[in-house]
Amino acid sequence: MVAESSFDVIVLGAGIMGSCAAHAAASRGATVLLLERFDLLHHLGSSNGLSRTIRDAYPKPRYPPMVRLARRLWTSAEADAGYRVLTPSPHLSIGPRSDASLLAAVRNGGGAEVDVDERWPGVFRVPDDGWVTAVSELGGGVLNATKAVAMFQALAVSKCAVVRDNTEVVGIVKKTTGGGGGVRVVTSKGEEFHGAKCIVTVGAWTSKLVKSVAGLDLPIQPLHMLSLYWKIKPGHEHELTAEAGFPTFSSHGDPHVYSTPSLELPSLIKINYDSGPPCDPDRRDWSSGVDAAAARVAHGGSRSSCRDTWRPTVGRSFGSRACTP
């Protein structure tokens, strides 16, 4: 139970964004309440699982400085927690030399062109017709998503933040009289909390929540995302690990395929594409789309793929993510 009902900051949604926001506010001396509709560390959104890539190779120049700042903040948080959630790696960008966004990403990430057959013999198949293969030596990495969320929640609590799960918010009302303004947050159980500020980080549920409490239609479309894992051929397991220097990589073909080193599941490597069909986050068929997604990745990656080291093996449902058009 929450003894106090008034806070400087109320954060809705305890995924990675909400947990980081709660930690940041509490670290600055604010009183913080972090509310989660589902169980903590649930698998329904986009903040679960064992791997997410981080890279500084982005075509828009404003992103790489943000990523580098984020790396320093990750290091600081890991030092406070006493354990690591980020595994550094090189980042390999692959794609047609005619792709202006790829060239911008390589430039912004400080990448240098390499001979992939020399760097990773027998691993990548890249077309000879003018494709770029560029590496940012310190630009990649893999984050343990669930462990990272738990870390920031624990750090927030250590700064006296209050964290509650299984608490659905049904009302957010701006106070216009008395008490100097702020907001009133109402739960499905009839509880009321008061905050000077309210931060909404509910991911795929954002448009639903904002529509229900404010009557606004936001241009946000949740997508059903899949994680695809591919079997590493026997004898090559160590070659594709972070310890062996295998990179995160992104292939700027159609579709845009990305991968992490083999890290979370023995003898499997995550090779996926960053898209999925529209979905309602409260009504999903968790088993749909696996075969089609795997075929799309295999077809799209056929021009730039791992050559003699992996084969399709398994796809599993991943969660939902909120996207704007």
Give the other-Cβ count within 10 Å of 199's Cβ. Answer: 18
Supply the pTM of this predicted model. Answer: 0.90
Closest alpha carbon to 277 in 248, 242, 317: 317
- Note whether 149 and 14 are within 8 A (CB): yes
Residue 2, pLDDT score: 59
Handedness of CA 271, 276, 279, 283 (dihedral sign): negative
Taking alpha carbons only, the member of 272, 269, 268 closest to residue 298 is: 272
Q: State the number of CA atoms in the 13 A half-sphere of 213 facing the CB.
A: 20
Q: What distance in Å separates the CA atoms of residue 14 and residue 24, rounded to the nearest whole number?
A: 13
Token pair for 233: 């051929």
pLDDT of residue 115: 94
Residue 82 burial (CB count, 10 A): 7
For the record, the structure tokens of 102 come out as 């790829």
Buried/exposed code over 86-103 (b: 16+ C-beta within 10 A; e: otherwise): bbbbbbbbbbbeebeebb
Q: Cα–Cα distance between 146 and 166 in angstroms, integer?
A: 18
Determine contact, residues 306/257, Cβ cutoff 8 Å: no
Matching residue, tokens 């899949």: 226
- Does the N-terminal peptide bond of residue 255 adopt cis geometry, omega within 30 degrees of 0? yes
Which one, of 233, 187, 177, lies nearest residue 209 by Cα?
A: 187
* β-strand pairing of 6-12 with 192-200: parallel
Query: By three-state DSSP, how is residue 123 classified?
Result: coil
Q: What b-and-e string marks burial along 55-70, b requiring 16 or more CB atoms within 10 Å of the CB?
A: bbbbbeeebbeebeee
Q: Strands across the sheet with 6-12, in order?
A: 162-164, 32-35, 6-12, 192-200, 183-187, 169-174
pLDDT at 282: 93
Q: Kindly list the averaged pLDDT for each block of 10 residues, start to end, along the chain of length 325.
A: 81 98 98 98 91 93 95 96 96 94 96 94 83 92 96 98 98 79 94 96 95 92 84 89 92 84 87 82 78 68 48 48 50
How far, in Å, CA of 62 to CA of 10, rounded? 29
